[in-house]
Chain A
Amino acid sequence: MMHAVWLIPALPLAGFLILLATGRRLGDPNAGWLATTMMVGAFVVAVGVFFDLMGNPADGRVFQQNLFAWIPVGGLHVDVGFLVDPLSVTMALFVTGVGALIHLYSIGYMHGDERYPKFFVYLNLFAFSMLMLVLSSSFLVTFLGWEGVGACSYFLVAFWFERPTAATAGKKAFVTNRIGDFGFMLAMFLIFTTFGSLNYTDVLGRAGELPHVTATAIALLLFVGAVGKSAQLPLYVWLPDAMEGPTPVSALIHAATMVTAGVFLMVRVNPILDLAPGALTLIATIGALTAFFAATIACAQNDIKKVLAYSTVSQLGYMFLAVGSGAYVAAIFHMVTHAFFKALLFLGAGSVIHGMHDEQNMKKMGGLRKLLPITSGTFIVGWLAIAGVPPFAGFWSKDEILVNAYEKNHLLWFIGLVTALLTAYYMSRQVFLVFYGDQRWKVAADGKSPREAEAKPEHEPAAVKSASPAGHDPAADHGAHGDFKPHESPPAMAYPLVVLAVLAAIGGILRSPLERWLEPVVGERVHHVVSGAGTKVGLGVVTTAGALIGIAIAYSIYLRHRAKESSVEPLVLQRAWYADDIVRTVVEAPSRALANFSAFFVDAKVIDGTVNGIGALVRAGGGRLRRVQTGFVRNYALAVAVGAVAALAYAVARTT
């Protein structure tokens, strides 16, 4: 079975190619079913490979498969090949597993969209790229997947490209990621210069030879790549905007898989990171700060998806906190549990949006619990998981990160703890606003809501969807105010929710198996926490208390109305600390001015002006010189005579 590993990416690739050729003929929903089948197939193969690998003794769980030589030039030789080890198989399992569920969900969610087949073309291409990324045996092929998922993210964020905000968000995602890729590329150059290879086994096996400075440089450059892809400070700005994409995309790419690629990369190169303690501290700090920063913003967002987007940024911060603390297993563990509950939450949000006829503003929701039983039930599981309430999955992974952070640095731990409280708070706020309390949509639908004016919708997908003739027609639905009633989603959408809810609930049991399983990749050292059992339990209690306090505060404000909502949603947080405005004035405006200056002054006036100036000068000079050519032989004769005399004089002068 191990030799079939190439099938894992090949199946989605085949799906992509088939859909590219025949997608339009397959149509809705067959195109979706084909894509989903490919993903399920890939998952099945991944499971097979997993069990095969399990059959080997712990230190023999490595398998390499080379398909063909991609770039063989001089000392550089890169194969398209796969490295099967516990880390890559873990990644492949959850990418294909969660991916298959989200493909399935999309069959229902995208139903009726005029570009339905195209959506699955992109989705399968994404899955292929992501699987190349995690299964690759070399930095370069990982980079191939890395860029591939970036391109797919661009396609899918801008899927509804008629909407200018979506088009801009897609571009922003791609360009911001490229800034990170700059670091990734430089890291590869440095690795090649140092080791003469880009192959993981060559490089990581000899990592011990690295001088401290080089190790730190490589670690930091790779981290720059990770910061872009995994939306950390300061390159996180693209992720909230990426919510312009269809919700399944947000779940798959911008929560569960692609954005965790940076974390994966860090764990993959852990032997190098271990040699660069300074880099580790920086990674942990950036992670903790990002986690806190994004969590504060999430507290004041009204768009149901924006909350989840900032939450994702925040949770990714936790993963980097774990990486920086040397707790690689904890990072992967949290990545997996996060994939479960965040995919669940996004898909749940999609179900809500679907049921609410494309409404995304939480302030216009409320009391949906009874009307959307499956969605609300599963969403609540996801909420408890992310909030860190035991025994749900998120508690275990977050607790493990915080224990490790505590050992690394008490301050970082404290930031993580406060973030945990905020996480519980903003997620409770979301749940209360959406599923509990007054059914504000009733008022909203009548157009009489006093709150409506105050709560501006951040964007209106309805505008675009109604533009698509075959799409759901929210305008018509909304037009009939009296009939407006949120509805539960079809089974294809509900089923993945249930599966993910189960995983989000019990995912915590993966904790110690995962530790043992990943040990060959990350080494034994890392999960030997020095603290005694007492400290660990104490920390767990504190974390749980933090979560409960967060929930309680949200409860008192958003359900009991003990305080005015607007008082805890200051403008500065609603506007996300004005980050976009700052980028606009500090980065965009000067760059634009510089580019304008280069194009229309330096190039057009200075350089081209000089060229044309020389041309004009020659022409003018030629005009003067032309007068010399009088055509009269006597003038020429005179000139010849003068010249001859001059030459003679010169010759005489030299000889004497």
Chain B
Amino acid sequence: MSETLPMLTLLVVIPVIGAAVVACLPRDDERLLRMVGATFAVVELLLTVALMFDFKAGEGGFQFVSQHVWIRSFGISWKLGVDGISLFLIVLTGVLFPLVIIGPEVHKDVKGYVAWMLLLETGCIGVFLALDLFLFFLFWELVLVPMYFLIGGWGYDRRIYATLKFFLYTMVGSALMLVGILTLVFLHQRATGNLTFDVVTLATDQSIASSTARWLFLAFAASFAIKVPMFPLHTWLPDAHTEAPTGGSVILAGIMLKLGTYGFLRFGLYLFPKAAFSFAPLFLTLGVIGIVYGAIVATMQRDLKRLVAYSSVAHLGFIVLGIFGLSQQGLEGGVLQMVNHGLSTGALFFLVGMIYERRHTRQIAELGGLQRVAPLFAGVFMLVMLSSIGLPGLNGFVGEFLVLIGTFVTRRWWAVVATTGVILAAVYLLWAYQRVFHGRPEGANADFPEMSWRERMLMAPLVALIVLLGVYPRPVLERISPSVRDLVAHVEQHSDFRQPAVAAGAAK
């Protein structure tokens, strides 16, 4: 199949074609605009699902690779490939975009909204698939533009401030990364005589002196750390999240934060294994701070959306911990947790959006007693919340547990501190739930409408995946495993790191 049909190229191209088609449609037919946009997004989803089924579970390397020389003189090519680490991020992207296109209310210019969203999808998919540094950087930057316009155009009161902050913050990171990319490529050329942006070649050759590699790693890492975001570079996130329209928040949290953690895996660990290992304590520490600090700050938020945003800081901290713990379980848990966080935080943002549509406020103090008038709404919120808290049987637990147990094997004390995050998550979410849903509804809260059918349809796939991944994560884990194993072996090969036998499973 991979020979005959350029599957991955299609995945990148379909949404942007959709965006172009939508751009040609009449501005006032909102139904048509959404229908067409959704059609493209659903076709994309079906393709990602097909990709998942075609994907060979036992293999760690890149599959469906398609490569075409693009700019020969610079060694730049259109190279796409998917492995166990990117596979489910692709599927997650496929799942979330149709939902944000069909789902939330869009109060103006549906055409622009849908078109930007589809362009954004191309950017996200491109980042996850690109195996050429130049191509990667192109998609990385491409993602910024639609998000800038989505927040600026469809956001709430302080959207201009938020979007500017978001944009500038990310640009600083990008600038550093661009310098890093070019330096890496030219140094590699100097060492090997081969001018190429090909990620696999660069990673395999490991031609850079380790002292230089440390600086290059940091240049990449700065960009990723902003995107994740890691403490203390996180303050753009609550602003951007809160001011973004619901769909924007869902994508921002669900997909775009993962660009950072994915970047650490694909370009941090893979390109600079030795440097990544030597800086691991720093990133582990920042990850743990993120977990604890994010949770503490979340507790006190008065705006429900800000609370969810800070919970992301904590959750992403777990992922960073898993990545830099460098154990099979931790890395695999981290990859899984990227997907989990996309599902549960995405769902939370949808729900908060629904609350805002009804009540025109996100202030926790102005809500209350909603469970009495909207039990189904409350039930769905509760389930998603418990997934976010990491209740076993739901998806969040599996990822969190794997991260913690894996990190415990390699970096015991970081894992111990991080585990307190499990307590804190219960505190801030349950307290928020109590204030919003428990008690007796008064005033406008007493007329809070129950979930509409449309909203139920919107939440159903997310809820189903939350339960499915909690009960039977095996098909996903099986596909992630080989790639993670190869990555750990790669790090071991190029650094002093050795994974304990318990984690690798050699002990048996």
Interface residues of A (CB under 8 A from B): 68-77, 118, 140, 143-144, 147-148, 151, 154, 158, 161-162, 164, 167-168, 170-171, 174-175, 178-179, 181-182, 185-186, 188-190, 192-193, 196, 467, 594-596, 598-600, 602-603, 607-608, 611, 615
Of A77, A147, A164, chain B has the most CB atoms within 10 Å of the CB of A147
Residues 215-270 of B at the A interface (beta carbon under 8 Å): 232, 234-236
A154 to B391, CA, bound (A): 13
A-B contact pairs, 20 of them (CB 8 A): A71-B477, A72-B477, A74-B332, A74-B504, A75-B508, A76-B405, A76-B503, A140-B401, A151-B386, A161-B439, A162-B439, A170-B434, A175-B426, A178-B422, A179-B423, A192-B405, A193-B500, A595-B297, A600-B300, A607-B234
Does B296 have its Cβ within 8 Å of any Cβ on chain A? yes
Residues 354-370 of B at the A interface (beta carbon under 8 Å): 369
Residues 411-454 of B at the A interface (beta carbon under 8 Å): 412, 415-416, 419-420, 422-423, 426-427, 430-431, 434, 437-440
Does B301 have its Cβ within 8 Å of any Cβ on chain A? yes
A584 to B82, CA, bound (A): 53
A72 to B299, CA, bound (A): 34
Supposing A164-B438, A598-B296, A603-B297 touch, asked if A75 and B408 sit within 8 A by C-beta, the answer is: no
**Is the beta-carbon distance between A72 and B474 smaller than 8 angstroms?**
yes
**B386 contact set on A, CB distance < 8 A:** 151
Residues 384-407 of B at the A interface (beta carbon under 8 Å): 386, 391-393, 397-398, 401-402, 404-405
**Option from A77, A161, A189 in Cβ contact (under 8 Å) with B371:** A161
Supposing A182-B423, A196-B507, A595-B300 touch, asked if A144 and B474 sit within 8 A by C-beta, the answer is: no
**Is the beta-carbon distance between A71 and B300 smaller than 8 angstroms?**
no
**Option from B232, B409, B426, B508 in Cβ contact (under 8 Å) with A174:** B426
> A115: shortest Cβ distance to chain B, in Å?
8
Does B490 have its Cβ within 8 Å of any Cβ on chain A? no
Shortest 9 CB-CB distances between A and B: which pairs? A75-B505, A74-B328, A167-B438, A189-B408, A599-B300, A144-B392, A608-B235, A161-B438, A196-B502
- Name the residue on B nearest A180 (C-beta): B423
A649 to B160, CA, bound (A): 48
**Is the beta-carbon distance between A73 and B426 smaller than 8 angstroms?**
no
**B300 contact set on A, CB distance < 8 A:** 595-596, 598-600
Chain B, residues 318-362, CB within 8 Å of chain A (1/0): the string is 000000000111001100000000000000000000000000000
**A143 contact set on B, CB distance < 8 A:** 392
A73 to B473, CA, bound (A): 11
**Is the beta-carbon distance between B416 and A186 smaller than 8 angstroms?**
yes
A147 to B506, CA, bound (A): 31
**Is the beta-carbon distance between B420 and A171 smaller than 8 angstroms?**
no
**Option from A167, A607, A611 in Cβ contact (under 8 Å) with B434:** A167
Does B501 have its Cβ within 8 Å of any Cβ on chain A? yes
**Is the beta-carbon distance between A151 and B391 smaller than 8 angstroms?**
yes
Q: How large is the interface on B (under 10, 10 to 19, 20 to 34, 35 or more residues)?
A: 35 or more
**A144 contact set on B, CB distance < 8 A:** 392-393
A193 to B440, CA, bound (A): 48
**B312 contact set on A, CB distance < 8 A:** none
A518 to B143, CA, bound (A): 63
Supposing A174-B426, A467-B440 touch, asked if A196 and B508 sit within 8 A by C-beta, the answer is: yes
**Is the beta-carbon distance between A147 and B392 smaller than 8 angstroms?**
yes
Does B214 have its Cβ within 8 Å of any Cβ on chain A? no
Known: A175-B427, A598-B297. 12 other contacts (CB 8 A): A75-B506, A118-B375, A140-B392, A147-B392, A148-B393, A182-B422, A185-B419, A193-B500, A599-B296, A599-B299, A599-B300, A615-B168
> A366: shortest Cβ distance to chain B, in Å?
33
**Is the beta-carbon distance between B503 and A182 smaller than 8 angstroms?**
no
A126 to B125, CA, bound (A): 42
> B58: shortest Cβ distance to chain A, in Å?
13
- Name the residue on A nearest B421 (C-beta): A182
Residues 464-495 of B at the A interface (beta carbon under 8 Å): 471-474, 477-478, 481, 485
**Option from B369, B409, B472, B485 in Cβ contact (under 8 Å) with A193:** B409
Supposing A147-B392, A175-B430 touch, asked if A189 and B415 sit within 8 A by C-beta, the answer is: yes
- Name the residue on B nearest A202 (C-beta): B508
**B301 contact set on A, CB distance < 8 A:** 599
**Is the beta-carbon distance between B332 and A73 smaller than 8 angstroms?**
yes
**Is the beta-carbon distance between B431 and A171 smaller than 8 angstroms?**
yes
Does B128 have its Cβ within 8 Å of any Cβ on chain A? no
**Is the beta-carbon distance between A167 and B439 smaller than 8 angstroms?**
yes
- Name the residue on B nearest A143 (C-beta): B392
- Name the residue on A nearest B232 (C-beta): A607
Interface residues of B (CB under 8 A from A): 165, 168-169, 232, 234-236, 293, 296-297, 299-301, 327-329, 332-333, 369, 371-372, 375, 386, 391-393, 397-398, 401-402, 404-405, 408-409, 412, 415-416, 419-420, 422-423, 426-427, 430-431, 434, 437-440, 471-474, 477-478, 481, 485, 500-508
> A507: shortest Cβ distance to chain B, in Å?
33
A603 to B234, CA, bound (A): 9
**A147 contact set on B, CB distance < 8 A:** 391-393, 397
A175 to B433, CA, bound (A): 13
> B286: shortest Cβ distance to chain A, in Å?
13
A73 to B483, CA, bound (A): 12
**Is the beta-carbon distance between A185 and B404 smaller than 8 angstroms?**
yes
> B178: shortest Cβ distance to chain A, in Å?
19
**Is the beta-carbon distance between A75 and B501 smaller than 8 angstroms?**
yes
A170 to B385, CA, bound (A): 15
Of A74, A75, A171, chain B has the most CB atoms within 10 Å of the CB of A74
**A602 contact set on B, CB distance < 8 A:** 297
A30 to B480, CA, bound (A): 46
Supposing A76-B405, A611-B235 touch, asked if A181 and B328 sit within 8 A by C-beta, the answer is: no
Of B300, B397, B402, B415, chain A has the most CB atoms within 10 Å of the CB of B300
**A76 contact set on B, CB distance < 8 A:** 329, 402, 405, 503, 505
**Is the beta-carbon distance between B296 and A75 smaller than 8 angstroms?**
no
**Option from A71, A181, A611 in Cβ contact (under 8 Å) with B402:** A71
**Is the beta-carbon distance between A182 and B420 smaller than 8 angstroms?**
yes
**Is the beta-carbon distance between A75 and B438 smaller than 8 angstroms?**
no
**Is the beta-carbon distance between B405 and A182 smaller than 8 angstroms?**
no
Of A168, A594, A611, chain B has the most CB atoms within 10 Å of the CB of A611
**A170 contact set on B, CB distance < 8 A:** 434
Of B299, B501, B507, chain A has the most CB atoms within 10 Å of the CB of B299
Supposing A167-B434, A167-B438, A171-B434 touch, asked if A75 and B503 sit within 8 A by C-beta, the answer is: yes
**Is the beta-carbon distance between A73 and B481 smaller than 8 angstroms?**
yes
A171 to B456, CA, bound (A): 27
**Is the beta-carbon distance between A162 and B430 smaller than 8 angstroms?**
no
**A594 contact set on B, CB distance < 8 A:** 296
**Is the beta-carbon distance between A171 and B430 smaller than 8 angstroms?**
yes
**A74 contact set on B, CB distance < 8 A:** 327-329, 332, 481, 485, 503-505
- Name the residue on A nearest B427 (C-beta): A175
**B408 contact set on A, CB distance < 8 A:** 186, 189-190, 192-193
A608 to B297, CA, bound (A): 13
**B485 contact set on A, CB distance < 8 A:** 74
A154 to B386, CA, bound (A): 11
- Name the residue on A nearest B420 (C-beta): A182
A387 to B419, CA, bound (A): 42
**B401 contact set on A, CB distance < 8 A:** 71, 140, 185
**Is the beta-carbon distance between B405 and A188 smaller than 8 angstroms?**
yes
> A122: shortest Cβ distance to chain B, in Å?
11
**B505 contact set on A, CB distance < 8 A:** 74-77, 196
A143 to B434, CA, bound (A): 25
A171 to B405, CA, bound (A): 27
A174 to B426, CA, bound (A): 8
**A171 contact set on B, CB distance < 8 A:** 430-431, 434
A607 to B290, CA, bound (A): 13
> A617: shortest Cβ distance to chain B, in Å?
13
- Name the residue on A nearest B499 (C-beta): A74
Supposing A75-B506, A144-B393 touch, asked if A164 and B439 sit within 8 A by C-beta, the answer is: yes
**Option from A68, A118, A158, A189 in Cβ contact (under 8 Å) with B472:** A68
**Is the beta-carbon distance between B508 and A175 smaller than 8 angstroms?**
no
Supposing A75-B503, A162-B369, A162-B439 touch, asked if A595 and B299 sit within 8 A by C-beta, the answer is: yes
